[in-house]
Structure 1
Amino acid sequence: MTRSIRSAISAALATMLTAGLAVVPAEPARAAGFDGAWTVLIITQAGNCDQGYSFPVKIAGGRVTSSGTANITGTVGRGGAVTVRVSQGGSYASGSGRLGAASGFGVWSGKGSSGTCRGRWEATRS
């Protein structure tokens, strides 16, 4: 799997924060308590993706973004519920989870050139 595909999948994983991929309604305007820089660790549990990858993300006004090359769209709700989608080229990943005041966790799944992968993610406020 190329680095750009791994990065896209990893980025998607990093922003996914719950024990499942259920879509959680989010209210970005009320999620300002989560704004700021975060570091996300992506852990692959199944599939042919990198076993671990860490990268920075930013939350502003309840919207999740990254300064990397992948397209990241996501939201954080007022209670910390997170949903994210990451794509780059033909690769993509989706994730969900929950953020607390200083850390968070969740699950992700995605598809790249070498097949599908899934796992969990952990986030810490930078």
Structure 2
Amino acid sequence: MLKSSVAALVLCAALPASLQPAAAEGRGYNGTWSVQLVTESGMCDSRYSVSLAIADGDVRVASTGEGGATVSGRIGPDGHVGLTVRHGATSGAASGRLQANSGSGTWNVSSLCSGRWTAQRRTARVAQAD
């Protein structure tokens, strides 16, 4: 059970978003992004992948199977990333920066594990949420 919760947090912790409150900023990062996470310390699996969708600075998980984790944050107009992820009593965070078609940064899941993420833009369009 703990391993599946950690996996859900690690997958979602890579989702780029920043805590800046500006309304429709981050439009230049709209699209679907493929995110790869590498664990550098702790008890998490060595690698994770997740697909995410960004629309006007808002981020949502585009792939399924993230185990019910909730994500909050936004993409800043300059591409800076800051995100909070929660799954039950466990929380995680990610930070870094996006550029036009790629990005990178760091992530951690409480004191359980931490590492680096990289992202590649796959498409410049995002489907509307249901």
Q: TM-score range by the shorter chain?
A: 0.7 to 0.9
| Residue 54 of structure 1, CA deviation | 0.1
SS of equivalent residue, structure 1 residue 108: strand
Supply the RMSD in Å over aligned alpha carbons.
Answer: 2.1
- 1:20 corresponds in structure 2 to none
CA contact (8 A) 1:28 1:77 kept: no
Of all paired residues, the percent bearing the same amino acid is 34
Match of 2:52 among 37, 48, 57: 57
Give unpaired runs (5+ residues) of structure 2.
123-130
CA distance in 2, matches of 1:80, 1:56: 18
- 1:3 corresponds in structure 2 to 4
Give unpaired runs (5+ residues) of structure 1.
18-22
| Residue 110 of structure 1, CA deviation | 1.2
TM-score of the pair, normalised by structure 1: 0.81
Matched ranges for 1:33-44 at <5 A: 33-44=28-39
Q: Are residues 1:123 and 2:119 paired?
A: yes
- 1:66 corresponds in structure 2 to 61
CA contact (8 A) 1:26 1:81 kept: no
CA distance in 2, matches of 1:6, 1:89: 13
Q: 1:95 and 1:16, CA in 2 relative to 1: closer, same or farther beyond 3 A?
A: farther
Which deviates more from structure 2 when the two are superposed, residues 26-35 or residues 42-51? Answer: 26-35
| Residue 58 of structure 1, CA deviation | 1.2
- 2:89 corresponds in structure 1 to 90
TM-score of the pair, normalised by structure 2: 0.79
CA distance in 2, matches of 1:50, 1:9: 9
| Residue 9 of structure 1, CA deviation | 2.2
SS of equivalent residue, structure 2 residue 100: coil
Q: Would you identify which runs of 4 or more consecutive aligned residues in structure 1 move more than 3 Å?
A: 23-28
| Residue 55 of structure 1, CA deviation | 0.6
CA contact (8 A) 2:32 2:52 kept: yes
Greater Rg by CA:
2
What is the number of residues matched between the two proteins? 117
| Residue 24 of structure 1, CA deviation | 6.9
CA distance in 1, matches of 2:37, 2:112: 15
Which deviates more from structure 2 when the two are superposed, residues 102-111 or residues 27-36? Answer: 27-36
